[in-house]
Structure 1
């Protein structure tokens, strides 16, 4: 795989890949130095040393001295120009680097190392037109660069040429995920989903079937609003690939929309049990089912059943979503159960901690709220809300001393929140009242009422 094509492809997925052959090329000079003087060798290898430690300016100085020592021998001058170009490129002096690369090519027209280095230079500068002309010269030496050429056509909006070349390469080399991604990107950019569908269907009809092709077609037909065709394809996918788990990412939705709930649940179970399907996709399926159950609460038991399949997942957001669903239905015990499951997966999740604590206080589970808030304060020692909840819990447990201690600490972390400040004063008033200190209790009660009046 060549540099620019792989560069484009992995940037498309948010990954930058460095190639060993590119690094190796940067480290080695042209091999044949010919008959050279001691002065040339000394300065040339000094240049290599300086480049190796990224002292590119010093490397250029050494190369200037080496050039003088070449006594204009063409083969040695080519080595100088090549090394000088690479150092100039490192310094982003691109015009000078290009000039020196071309000096080599004037005498060594087919030098593939130099052409590849110049191609990289053009690509970094996004000089795609110049890169195309150069790649056309490289291809007779290395046909892998045809993929680069297709990408360059894409970059220069020559979409027809890119598609034609990509299809030729599929014929020559077989299907490729990278080329499929590039073709898909072209169709998206041109808005030609019809052509993309025809291209994928042609592959399927020619027995070049793949699970991924079916999934792409299902997605494309779904986007077009052709649900019937998408459903047909999902079933066809299962016939061609009976063990396909990804097919159920499409089928569950169709079954839900059709009201075939038992089939939908079975498809969801397949998704949730799958080790091949990523957590984000599973979360999307679950979110859809939560929305469905919200409108059809008779299926709540099924929701609890399918979520039990997430026991091996580490995505605490799944349990947060289910907990939120039950909380919105005012089913606090069930909500708390799922918030706790989420905390088993991610004990540092503040939103889960907060949700669980508020329900525990509401249900008067003061022991649990006290323990959870103490543990949470070890992770979030500057969260005023945690001190407040701990104070409420200790007041509920008649531990007024602990309540006062934590409430007074929490006030120091409170920032511009009059409502929470009022809650602190009310809890401090309750704690001091429990201690029999009426003066302090009245003091904080008054402070709370003043805030209430001012708000």
Structure 2
């Protein structure tokens, strides 16, 4: 869980800022145009032709026009800057970098050139070079520290990244953002004691942030510090009495300590909550499934919480997952109960329909199998298996005329399935026998047996 939180926060907080955000800014083109200097008409014509072609994404034609302008003024930094941008748009990063370097040599330490050069180095995975350029850029704007942090992360230079965060805390003051970033680094480097310290500081800095408490609970739990984890959860519940998030932690403590009623109460709150994501809810549900597997007598409670999940997340597929789980354990009654819960609102799921019907036959629930297969045929009228199941169920209910009709009709949909053909003939034999038509019963029985002999 901690690992998931790490990557979610890290990519959500750092990786949407800095380098990527700067891609969409417009001032670069304006600076370039304003900085042309004195140029003749031919140069101006080529230059603005290049801008026009770039605007409609004809980057190759833009490059040709710029190369013609370059021959007129080979020492104009703006030409190389524009060439760099076009090569960058073509993902030709080596040529982009080469041209941005030329622009920088002609007009040293211009922010708009350095920024483009840094971005190209970064995209080309030349992080060390990008860092060197970044260290010049931070003099222009503190926003570039975000880029520096990102590149330290890419290089896994966590010591330098922590040092940078410490420096920024001293210069700019402590922020929740940097504390949160710091704790993610400690989680990635398994520096648990530092992570706990940072989380505690984050709670002091921003006591209204529920996620800090929850992360601290998870860290304590991962380290086997159950007492500290539970105390933090209780404190969180006192501070946020209406919070549903705290129950993500509390339900597990209650389950582990056989406080089942309290665990169920917490789970219901989690499963009904709109603020908690489906993945976390599924983990709660799965934990209770494992608990039920080891503690008899909670089958109905499991169905209740599964129904809550299905309703809150509009996910009837959860019943199929639980049914499959019990089927693998050969607990057919349990499996069928979940399949039947799922098929009620998900009858167009053919796999679930088939599994439910086969289990109903296996457990001698012929009336239910007859009714459900009939409903299934309304949605899947060309599925031969459904006719066979309905026919078998009707035979067992001694409704031989109906069985004969449905089985005969179903044979028309049978295509290249020897096993099913044999079963159809066997059920037709049963239907004719039930109607007292011994010759026909014998005929179909011999057909079924002949298929069996052919296979053997």
TM-score grouping bracket, smaller chain normalisation: 0.7 to 0.9
Distance change (3 Å), C-alpha of 1:407 and 1:251: farther
SS at match of 1:104: helix
Mapped partners of 1:278, 1:229: distance in 2? 26
Is 1:447 aligned to 2:444, yes or no? no
Give the CA deviation at 1:168: 4.4
Match of 1:275?
274
Instruction: Work out the number of aligned pairs and report it.
Output: 431
SS at match of 1:92: coil
Mapped partners of 2:55, 2:317: distance in 1? 48
Distance change (3 Å), C-alpha of 1:83 and 1:265: same
Is 1:428 aligned to 2:425, yes or no? yes
Match of 2:313?
313
Match of 2:3?
none
SS at match of 1:276: coil
Q: Note the aligned Cα RMSD (angstroms).
A: 3.5
1:259-296 C-alpha deviation (Å, 9 max, x unpaired): 11221121112112211111221122122222222332
Match of 1:403?
407
Decide whether the 8 Å contact of 2:390 with 2:403 is kept in 1.
no
Give the CA deviation at 1:21: 5.2
Give the CA deviation at 1:209: 5.4
1:230-261 C-alpha deviation (Å, 9 max, x unpaired): 11111111122222211111111111111112
SS at match of 1:409: coil
Match of 1:418?
none
Decide whether the 8 Å contact of 1:320 with 1:339 is kept in 2.
yes
Match of 1:30?
32
Mapped partners of 2:29, 2:9: distance in 1? 20
Decide whether the 8 Å contact of 2:10 with 2:181 is kept in 1.
no
Give the CA deviation at 1:340: 4.0
Decide whether the 8 Å contact of 1:50 with 1:58 is kept in 2.
yes
Alignment map for 1:55-454 (pairs within 5 Å): 55-70=58-73, 72=74, 74=75, 77-169=76-168, 172=172, 175-176=175-176, 179=178, 182-206=181-205, 208=207, 210-310=209-309, 311-323=311-323, 332=333, 336=336, 338-343=338-343, 346-361=346-361, 362-364=364-366, 365-375=368-378, 377=380, 385-386=385-386, 388-389=388-389, 392-393=392-393, 398-412=402-416, 414=417, 421-431=418-428, 434=431, 437-438=440-441, 440-450=443-453, 454=456
Mapped partners of 2:9, 2:291: distance in 1? 42
SS at match of 1:198: helix
Distance change (3 Å), C-alpha of 1:230 and 1:410: farther
Give the CA deviation at 1:182: 4.3
SS at match of 1:49: helix
Mapped partners of 1:350, 1:13: distance in 2? 42
Mapped partners of 2:296, 2:314: distance in 1? 27
1:122-180 C-alpha deviation (Å, 9 max, x unpaired): 11111110011111111111101112212222222321221132344456365455x56
Decide whether the 8 Å contact of 1:197 with 1:217 is kept in 2.
yes
Mapped partners of 1:86, 1:209: distance in 2? 45
Q: TM-score, structure 1 length as denominator? A: 0.82
1:305-361 C-alpha deviation (Å, 9 max, x unpaired): 4344333331223323454577668574x7555434434554454442233222343
Mapped partners of 1:241, 1:129: distance in 2? 45
1:41 maps to which of 33, 40, 44: 44
Indicate the larger mover: 284-293 or 32-41.
32-41
Decide whether the 8 Å contact of 1:314 with 1:345 is kept in 2.
no
Distance change (3 Å), C-alpha of 1:121 and 1:280: same
| Structure 1 unpaired stretches of 5+ | 1-5, 415-420
| Structure 2 unpaired stretches of 5+ | 1-7
Mapped partners of 2:206, 2:31: distance in 1? 48
SS at match of 1:411: coil
Indicate the larger mover: 122-131 or 276-285.
276-285
Q: TM-score, structure 2 length as denominator? A: 0.82
Decide whether the 8 Å contact of 1:88 with 1:94 is kept in 2.
yes
Distance change (3 Å), C-alpha of 1:357 and 1:376: farther
